[in-house]
């Protein structure tokens, strides 16, 4: 296995994989920006994750539960927080589904947040 990886490093395969992954992450970030354009978030252009900041009237735990009922798995900020002050946000993973599934999930997330604001 070490020999294979060393060969990939020498012949540029790893660099190619890295380039493809970064391009894919940028495309997913762009899709998220387009669908969630009226929302606030924190992320990096080459990242497969977004921290979506929530409106004050939306409870993160309730939103996560409602999304889980729609087969969309997101996380509150609590498991990732390293301080007593937990950000009012949810963590979205963008890389584990197809672009079509991601688009549908992001649209559902946006609609569910709007529903929760009015609830």
Asked whether the CA dihedral 33, 16, 14, 100 is positive or negative, the reply is: positive
The reported pTM is 0.88
The domain that contains 85 carries what CATH number?
Answer: 3.90.1150.10
Domain that holds residue 98: 2-118
The C-alpha atoms of residue 77 and residue 47 are separated, in whole angstroms, by 17
Q: What confidence tens digit (pLDDT) does each residue in 2-55 have?
A: 999 899 999 999 999 999 999 999 999 999 999 999 999 999 999 999 999 999
Report the domain count for the chain: 1
């Amino acid at each position: 296995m070490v020999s294979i990886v060393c060969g990939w490093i020498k012949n540029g395969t790893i660099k190619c994989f890295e380039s493809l992954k970064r391009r894919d992450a940028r495309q997913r970030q762009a899709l998220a920006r387009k669908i969630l354009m009226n929302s606030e978030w924190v992320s990096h252009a080459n990242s497969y994750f977004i921290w979506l900041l929530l409106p004050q009237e939306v409870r993160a735990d309730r939103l996560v539960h409602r999304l889980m009922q729609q087969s969309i798995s997101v996380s509150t900020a609590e498991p990732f927080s390293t301080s007593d002050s937990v950000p009012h946000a949810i963590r979205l993973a963008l890389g584990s589904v197809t672009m079509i599934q991601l688009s549908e999930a992001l649209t559902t997330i946006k609609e569910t947040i709007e529903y929760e604001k009015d609830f």
